[in-house]
Amino acid sequence: MLKRFLFLSLLLFSGAANASDLIEVRLKGMTGESSQTIIRQELEKLPQTEMAEVDALTGRAFVAVKNGQTLPDDTVKKTIEALGFRVTGITRSGTGAAVPK
């Protein structure tokens, strides 16, 4: 929960405030910090990504999409699943909206 709060704070009060969408990805298969790092790095390599955060404890990843950019769910899913993890759901919200639980 704290990581999520910190990520959202960074999103709202940094250069990422120009992000147009926030994507929450629920996933399975993470075993610890190295899993988090690998997934975050791959998500941040996507040209549409402003920033990303991953939490193995909650099984969630959050991706801030650059303003004016589109990041299809299928691209997010393929990126994560190519690493050997399983996506169980994707939820989107605009940065002005409440983040889904």
The structural domains of the chain, ordered by start, are: 2-94 (3.30.70.100)
What is the reported pTM? 0.76
Per-position DSSP letters for 5-68, written without gaps between them: HHHHHHHHHSGGGG--EEEEEEEE---SHHHHHHHHHHHHHSTTEEEEEEETTTTEEEEEEPTT
Per-residue pLDDT reduced to its tens digit, 54-74:
999 999 999 999 988 999 999
Per-residue pLDDT reduced to its tens digit, 23-58:
999 999 998 899 999 999 999 999 999 999 999 999
Angstrom CA distances, 78 to 19, 62, 95, stand at 22, 15, 24
Residue 86, H or E segment: strand 86-94
Virtual torsion, Cα 10, 37, 89, 3, nearest 10 deg: -40
